[in-house]
Amino acid sequence: MTAPKRRESDTLAAHSKELNLNTDPNPKGAALTYRDAGVDIDAGDALVERIKPFAKRTMRPEVLAGIGGFGALFELSRKYREPVLVSGTDGVGTKLKLAFQLNRHDTVGQDLVAMSVNDILVQGAEPLFFLDYFACGRLDVDTAASVIQGIARGCELAGCALIGGETAEMPSMYPDGEYDLAGFAVGAVEKSKIITGSDIKPGDAVLGLASSGAHSNGYSLIRRIIERARPDMTADFHGRPFGDVVMAPTRIYVKPLLALMEELPVKGMAHITGGGLVENVPRVLPDTVTAVLDRQRWTMPPLFQWLQQEGGVADTEMHRVFNCGIGMVVIVAAGQEKRAIELLTAAGETVYSVGRIEARQGDSPQTIVL
């Protein structure tokens, strides 16, 4: 993360409209500082020092210059003959609202990394480096450090370097205690090994890798259901506090799937994010085929069962909003299915054989959940 830049959302003239001039601690004519305007330079500097050890643990040999400069330098490995860069960007969404409510800031950083690195992974790319953007109205060093420590943890899980970012303190842009996050990942893949899904055909096997929870999608609906049901966030929910279950960080699938791709041909992958199962799987399929998924082949985790029951959510809506327990879909030839399951299981993944690829009938949907 680079040294924080100082941003303001308003001019001092605009701020004066919000101030009661009779109680202004800096009356007209008094010298003003950036701190008076709501930006604490010292806090920003303290944050940079706090996060340096976290970022250091994520370094790769290709990093030439990282934290502290105006830009980070990264040299592409010579192992690539025809390297193609693959990039992705995302945020955490309204899951942050629950983080503020529960004062839980240690996991959303991993969510941020996961949403981008899992996306670029599906095209066969190895994540190389990650940059983050943390924006707030007033910088709380402890909170920001907790968030960025989670980002660093996500980068370690993905094997990519946290080499830069931005901390923006913008008075009056965000309520006290709130912030926003954005992330940006860059990876590389050998041109000849880009996964496009073009050779997916009827008879191929569809595997589902278990999710760790709702990941970072559908939280506007999740929060609405929580507001209606008012669960005790500290109460036991199948062996864990409910708050831990609903805030579980997004699973990062990078290392097991990169290893799988080294062992056997992977025809297609789909990261199950916004749009759920029925809208993400078609993104990797040729127009001529349909993925037919059998709901009886995996158990929907208790969190999703609770959400469906308490929210009265229809099956079709569940499949369109949530991952329903499947965070990543992998498509391989039928003859490779058994070996793929063995390799992924050995790498620590819970894997289900969730369906098959069939010929598409006319304009029928490209993902059908039976």
How far apart are alpha carbons 155 and 268 in whole angstroms?
A: 24
**35 is a domain residue:** yes
Comparing 48 with 81, the larger pLDDT belongs to 81
CA dihedral 111, 320, 316, 257 (to 10 degrees): -70
Q: Identify the band that residue 321 occupies on the pLDDT scale cut at 50, 70 and 90.
A: very high
Residue 17 has pLDDT above 50, yes or no: no
Q: What are phi and psi of 42, to 5 degrees?
A: -60, -40
**198 is a domain residue:** no
Over residues 84-94, mean pLDDT: 96
Residue 72 has pLDDT above 90, yes or no: no
| Domain shared by 359 and 212, yes or no | yes
How far apart are alpha carbons 321 and 316 in whole angstroms?
A: 9
Q: Which of 170, 193, 216 is the last residue of a domain?
A: 193
pLDDT of residue 96: 96
Q: Identify the band that residue 66 occupies on the pLDDT scale cut at 50, 70 and 90.
A: low
Comparing 188 with 34, the larger pLDDT belongs to 188
How far apart are alpha carbons 275 and 301 in whole angstroms?
A: 18
Which range among 63-67, 224-228, 303-307 shows the weakest confidence by mean pLDDT? 63-67
Q: Identify the band that residue 222 occupies on the pLDDT scale cut at 50, 70 and 90.
A: very high
Can you name the residues that pair with 180 across neighbouring β-strands?
135
Comparing 245 with 73, the larger pLDDT belongs to 245
pLDDT of residue 1: 47
Over residues 273-284, mean pLDDT: 93
Q: Identify the band that residue 16 occupies on the pLDDT scale cut at 50, 70 and 90.
A: very low
In which element (H, E) is residue 247 found? none
| Domain shared by 21 and 100, yes or no | yes
| Domain shared by 118 and 214, yes or no | no
Closest CA to 252 of 69, 122, 65: 122
| Domain shared by 53 and 166, yes or no | yes
How far apart are alpha carbons 217 and 93 in whole angstroms?
A: 8
Model confidence over 97-110: pLDDT tens digits? Answer: 999 999 999 999 99
CA dihedral 195, 197, 198, 201 (to 10 degrees): 140
What total number of domains does the chain contain? 2
| Domain shared by 129 and 30, yes or no | yes
pLDDT of residue 27: 58
Q: What is the DSSP code (8-state) at residue 63?
A: E
Model confidence over 21-59: pLDDT tens digits? Answer: 334 555 566 675 556 556 666 666 777 777 677 777 788
Residue 255 has pLDDT above 90, yes or no: yes
**CA distance from start to end of the chain:** 46
Mean per-residue pLDDT of the chain: 88
Residues 6+ apart with CB under 8 A from 137: 38, 169, 170, 171, 172, 173, 174, 175, 176, 178
| Domain shared by 155 and 217, yes or no | no
pLDDT of residue 40: 63
Percent of the chain with pLDDT over 70: 86
- Containing domain of residue 110, as a range? 5-193
Over residues 67-80, mean pLDDT: 82
Q: Identify the band that residue 3 occupies on the pLDDT scale cut at 50, 70 and 90.
A: very low
| Domain shared by 188 and 231, yes or no | no
The answer to whether 340 touches 330, Cβ cutoff 8 Å, is: yes
pLDDT of residue 294: 95
| Domain shared by 52 and 178, yes or no | yes
Q: Which of 193, 215, 240 is the last residue of a domain?
A: 193
CATH of the domain at 289: 3.90.650.10
Please count the CA atoms within 13 angstroms of the CA of 131 that sit on its side-chain side: 20
Alpha-helix residue ranges (DSSP H) falling in the chain = 12-18, 41-56, 95-102, 108-121, 141-158, 219-229, 242-246, 254-263, 276-280, 302-311, 315-321, 337-346
Model confidence over 113-147: pLDDT tens digits? Answer: 999 999 999 999 999 999 999 999 998 889 999 99
Residue 257 has pLDDT above 70, yes or no: yes
Percent of the chain with pLDDT over 90: 72
